[in-house]
A and B are shown apart, each in its own frame.
Chain A
Amino acid sequence: MATWQFLVILVKIVLIVGIFQGAVAYMIMLERKIAAWAQDRVGPNRAGPFGLLQPLADGAKMLLKEDVIPGYVNRPLYILAPAIAIVAATIGFAVVPFGPVGTDAPTVSGHAIEFQIAPNVDIGILYVFAIGSLAVYAVILGGWASNNKYSFLGGLRNSAQIISYEIPLGLSVLGMIMMARSLDLGEIMAWQEQNGLGFIPAWGILVQPLGCLIFLISAFAETNRLPFDLAEAEQELVGGFHTEYSAMKFGMFFLGEYLHVITVSFLMSILFLGGWDPLFFDLGSNGWISAVIKVGVLFFKVFLMVVFIMWIRWTLPRFRYDQLMNLAWKALIPLALLNLIVTMILLQLFRGIG
């Protein structure tokens, strides 16, 4: 039994890491394509049919480039930073449910196959946030160890940004957690699926619209994506924290950033878009077919979120630094608190019914 479980978990880890590394390669391709389309261009289309081999070319380029380590850097930290970036981004996936878990999970000769690397972690969301905020170490260490004032400024900006935006990020999901009465991502999804009013589902975006908005904005800030990419800010900081990095070390920062985008998209889909709830029809509770459909629906929602994040990138310009801080401290945190209090009051009032 123990060996079997161990093997299954190992297979799941290999599969998920492999799938997401590949997904990141194609996300960069997608990003470039969307960037091109938003500017009325065509985008990469020369490598392979429709440019589909472009990610391979990019990857090969990253791997084959000379890996320069400048003489004045703080070597151990300089090498550690990209490793932290990628590790912090990857281990967040351990508790993300990709498909049915628990009693819903399909079985193979009596053993349930749960679509989650570490099933039944009942503080899943706490874990994801904890790991997610570790990623800031990569940026700060990278900026510090580079011994370059631009990198240092980038790292500094990033630390202030992440500290500010952790607060609204955490507060915004509390409402959802209180309603679902669980920190387990799977149970939050199940609650959204079961508590609809007839046709209208109880998706987070409908029952917690303000929370959803605050989460979305803070999530952008957490992933360092435009319009919050002040840590990179090419025009002001010549690339910010990764100015001194080259070749695959640079690539690892990018990989980390895109993995972060995927994690955030998963959280957004699970917490606020109903997870694998396909909206209009009821799936049977178990069996492989429903499991596959659920995985498909969830991944589709994640894909839409990723596209949305890239779309926003080409819509909004970068914030100025004081605007960024004002937005967090003067708008998002009070609103998140308000949302929390209103949710609490309503829940208390309707406790007997709900």
Chain B
Amino acid sequence: MKLDDPNLKRLEPPKLTLFEKTYLPQILGGLVVTGRHILGAAVGGKAITVQYPEEQHVPSANYRGVHRLNKDEQGRVKCVACMLCATACPAHCIDIVGATAPPEWEDREKYPESFVIDELRCIYCGMCEEACPVDAIELTGLYDLTGLSREEMIYDKTKLLSVFDMTKDAEPMQSGNPPATLALPTSPLEPEGPGPRPSSSAGIPPRS
């Protein structure tokens, strides 16, 4: 576009009156805005804080939290050990050992003998979920992922399958959230992953 283009619109900054040049009216306007927020949160109950351990935060439907490994209708792990997720993973935190599927599983050749995700290295980008051809790996809405050691945060197949059992009623990317009945999101995750475990991790008191 040329400078003398007739379609070119020129915008001039509005001229300020002398009173406006003192910036006092704008400052007063700003005070009104912040004042409204202060009063709204202090007495109007408009604060958006969620009192976390007592109240559970419900993340949005496309929240990307802990992974789960889906099972099919027969309760078998859906994954066919194609390694696409491990290849796609930018953080290199998926470690799969594939094995020949048992002969009675007619629909596939391979299955994962071991499937380990290092949840501490994971950046929760969701690429694994995108890559999977059989929708075997998905990210759930579980966000309160905690542990007492690094080893505890390396999730193996058992643990990832147990996340599926916990969240199977929720469909990630559609309603993402664990159903309301899931009062204790992480407690079924027994520390069964590889590596040594501190004995104290078993003694975490359940949430009430």
A interface, CB within 8 angstroms of B: 33-34, 36-42, 311-312, 314-316
Residues B34 and A311 in contact, CB atoms below 8 Å apart: yes
Which residues in A have their C-beta under 8 angstroms from that of B51?
42
12 contacts between A and B (CB under 8 A): A34-B38, A37-B39, A37-B47, A38-B34, A38-B37, A38-B38, A40-B49, A42-B51, A315-B27, A315-B30, A315-B31, A315-B33
Q: Is the C-beta of B46 less than 8 angstroms from some C-beta in chain A? A: yes
Least CB distance from A67 to B in Å reads 31
Which residues in A have their C-beta under 8 angstroms from that of B49?
40-42
Residues B48 and A315 in contact, CB atoms below 8 Å apart: no
Least CB distance from B103 to A in Å reads 59
Residues A37 and B38 in contact, CB atoms below 8 Å apart: yes
Residues B35 and A311 in contact, CB atoms below 8 Å apart: yes
Which residues in A have their C-beta under 8 angstroms from that of B133?
none
Least CB distance from B203 to A in Å reads 24
Cα–Cα, bound, A284→B33 (Å): 41
With A37-B37, A42-B41, A311-B35 given, name 16 new contacts (CB 8 A). A33-B42, A36-B47, A37-B38, A38-B34, A40-B37, A40-B40, A41-B49, A42-B47, A42-B51, A311-B31, A311-B38, A314-B38, A315-B27, A315-B30, A315-B31, A316-B27
Q: Contacts A315-B27, A316-B27 given: A40-B47 contact, CB under 8 Å?
A: yes
Residues A40 and B41 in contact, CB atoms below 8 Å apart: yes
Which residues in A have their C-beta under 8 angstroms from that of B41?
36-42
Q: Contacts A36-B41, A316-B27 given: A41-B48 contact, CB under 8 Å?
A: yes
Smallest CB-CB A-B distances: 3 pairs: A37-B41, A42-B49, A37-B38
Residues A40 and B35 in contact, CB atoms below 8 Å apart: no
Cα–Cα, bound, A36→B31 (Å): 16
Cα–Cα, bound, A295→B33 (Å): 32
Cα–Cα, bound, A311→B48 (Å): 20
Residues A41 and B47 in contact, CB atoms below 8 Å apart: yes
Which residues in A have their C-beta under 8 angstroms from that of B33?
315
Interface code B11-45, partner A: CB below 8 Å = 1, 0 otherwise? 00000000000000001001101110111111000
Cα–Cα, bound, A85→B47 (Å): 36
Which residues in A have their C-beta under 8 angstroms from that of B35?
311
- For window 168-196 of chain B, which residues contact chain A by CB distance below 8 Å? none
Which residues in B have their C-beta under 8 angstroms from that of A312?
31
Q: Which of the listed residues B33, B38, B39, B42 has the most CB atoms from chain A within 10 Å of its own CB?
A: B38
Residues B34 and A315 in contact, CB atoms below 8 Å apart: yes
Which partner residue on chain A sits nearest B42 by CB separation? A37
Cα–Cα, bound, A41→B48 (Å): 6
Cα–Cα, bound, A36→B41 (Å): 8
Residues B37 and A39 in contact, CB atoms below 8 Å apart: yes
Cα–Cα, bound, A167→B38 (Å): 34
Residues A314 and B34 in contact, CB atoms below 8 Å apart: yes
Which partner residue on chain A sits nearest B35 by CB separation? A311
Which partner residue on chain B sits nearest A310 by CB separation? B38
Which partner residue on chain A sits nearest B41 by CB separation? A37
Which partner residue on chain A sits nearest B36 by CB separation? A38
Cα–Cα, bound, A39→B38 (Å): 8
Which residues in A have their C-beta under 8 angstroms from that of B46?
40
Least CB distance from B25 to A in Å reads 13
